Structure 1
Amino acid sequence: MFTGIVQGTAEVVAIEEKQNFRTHILRLSAELLPGIELGASIAHNGCCLTVTRVDGDLVSFDLMQETLRVTNLGQLKVGDRVNVERAARFGDEIGGHSMSGHIIALAEVLEVIDTPNNRTVWFRLPAEYARYVFTKGYIGIDGCSLTIGEVKGDAFCVHLIPETLQRTNLAWRKAGDAINIEIDPQTQAIVDTVERVMAQRGQG
C-alpha cells in the first residue's frame, strides 16, 4: 500500500531491454535506501514495482509487458526522473489517501496554467473512467495523491503548490505528456455498486 505522498524523484541511470520486458536501474537518494531488500515494493510514477537487485545506491526493477502497456514507464529514457515512494508501513501517517500502486489508465496533459505560487494542470481521461472523477475527490497522478479541482466532461484539473512542484516530476510536465492515473478505489467501488443496483432496479 502507498499513501500518494511522493518522497522525491529518482534518476533512471540504465535500461536493459528484452522482448516485451525491461529492467530499470534507478539511483536512489540516501534517505530512501535504508532497509531496502530484494522483493521490496517501491512505486515509480505511482506504479508498484518490485526490487530485483541492489548495488549500493543503484536499485533494479523489472517491468513486464502489461506494465509497459498500461503505464508511462515504457516511455522512459536514461536520464529521466520518476516519482518515488517506498511502501507504507503500519503506523505511518497517511497524509494523502490509500493507494494500491495499480495504474488504471493514462491521462493526457491538456494545459498547464502558471500563476504566482500556483500551477493548475488540466488532464483528459479515457471517457470510460470519467464517471469516477468528482470535484474535491481524490486521484493518483504519477503517484501523487491530489485533490481534483474541477471537472468538465472527461477533463479535470488539479492545483499544485510549490512544495509539490519541488518534490515531484509534475514540475516539468507539459501538454501532450502521458500521465499514470490511479482512481480512488473507494470512489470506484461506490460508483460501480450504485450503477449495478440502479441497473438491477431498472430491470425489475
Structure 2
Amino acid sequence: MYTGIVQAVRPLLDVTTYPGHNQFTIDLTPELLDELKIGASVSVEGTCLSVTEIHGTQVRFDAMTATLERTNLRNFKAGQGVNIERSAKMNAEVGGHLMAGHIATTAEIVELSIKETGAFIKFRMPPEWGKYVFPRGFIGVNGCSLTVADVEDNVITINLIPETLRQTTFPSYKAGDLLNIEVDHQTMVLVDVVERTIKSTLAREMPR
C-alpha cells in the first residue's frame, strides 16, 4: 500500500524491451534505497512494480505486457523523471489516501495550465471508469493522492499547489499525454453495489 505522497522524482536511466515485458532501470537516492530488497514493491509513476535487481543506486523493475497496456509506462523513455514512493510502513502517517498502485486506466490530458503559483489539469476518463469519480472525492494520478475539483462529461479537473508541482513529474506533461489513474477503491465498491441493487430492484418490479 502507498500513501499517495510522492517522495521523489528520480531519473529513468534505461528502458529495455523484452518479449512479454519491459525492464526499467531507475537511479534511487540513499533514502529510497534504505532497507530496499529484491521483491520489494515500489510505486513508479503510480504503478506498483517489484524490484528485480539492485546494483548500487541503480534499481531495476520489470513490467509485463498487461501492465504496459493498462498504464503510461509503455511510453517511458530513458532520461525522463518518474514519481517514486516506497511502500508504506505500519503506523506511518497517511498524508494522502491509501492507494494500492493498481492502475485502473489511463486518461488523456485535454487541457492544462502550469504556473509557479499553481496549476490545473483536465483529463478525459473512459466512461466505464469516469462513473467512479466525484467532485471533492479522492483520485490517484501518477501516484499522487489528489482531490477532484470538478467533473463534467467524464472530464476531470484537478488543482495542484506549487509544492506538488515541485515534488512530482506533472510539470513535464502536456496536452495529449496519458496519466495513470487509480480510482478510490471504496468509492468503486459503493457505486457497483448501488448499480447492482438498482438493477436487481428493477428486475423484480418488471411485470412478468
TM value normalised by structure 1: 0.97
For residues 129-188 of structure 1, the C-alpha deviation after alignment (integer angstroms, 9 at most, x for no partner) is: 111010000000000000000111110100000000000001221100001000000000
Q: Residues 37 and 190 from structure 1, CA distance in 2 versus in 1: closer, same or farther, beyond 3 angstroms?
A: same
For residues 61-114 of structure 1, the C-alpha deviation after alignment (integer angstroms, 9 at most, x for no partner) is: 011110111111111011011111000011100010011100000000111124
Counterpart of 1:128 in structure 2 is 128
Conserved? CA contact 2:45–2:142, under 8 Å: yes
Q: Residues 108 and 50 from structure 1, CA distance in 2 versus in 1: closer, same or farther, beyond 3 angstroms?
A: same
How far apart, in 2, do the equivalents of 1:113 and 1:22 lie?
A: 32
Counterpart of 1:106 in structure 2 is 106
Q: Residues 44 and 116 from structure 1, CA distance in 2 versus in 1: closer, same or farther, beyond 3 angstroms?
A: closer
Map 1:34-45 to 2 at 5 A.
Answer: 34-45=34-45
1:20 Cα deviation (Å)? 2.5
> Which residue identity lines up with residue 4 of structure 1 in the other structure?
G
How far apart, in 1, do the equivalents of 2:101 and 2:89 lie?
A: 15
1:115 Cα deviation (Å)? 5.4
SS in 2 for 1:38: coil
How far apart, in 1, do the equivalents of 2:115 and 2:64 lie?
A: 40
Counterpart of 2:148 in structure 1 is 148
RMSD of aligned alpha carbons: 1.0
Q: Between Structure 1 and Structure 2, how many residues are aligned? A: 204
> Which residue identity lines up with residue 50 of structure 1 in the other structure?
S
How far apart, in 1, do the equivalents of 2:81 and 2:120 lie?
A: 21
Q: Which moved more, 1:13-22 or 1:97-106?
A: 13-22
Q: Which runs of 4+ in 1 moved over 4 A?
A: none
Gap regions ≥5 residues in structure 1: none
How far apart, in 2, do the equivalents of 1:118 and 1:6 lie?
A: 17
> Which residue identity lines up with residue 175 of structure 1 in the other structure?
A
SS in 2 for 1:89: coil
How far apart, in 2, do the equivalents of 1:118 and 1:162 lie?
A: 5
TM value normalised by structure 2: 0.96
> Which residue identity lines up with residue 193 of structure 1 in the other structure?
V
Which of structures 1 and 2 has the bigger CA Rg? 2
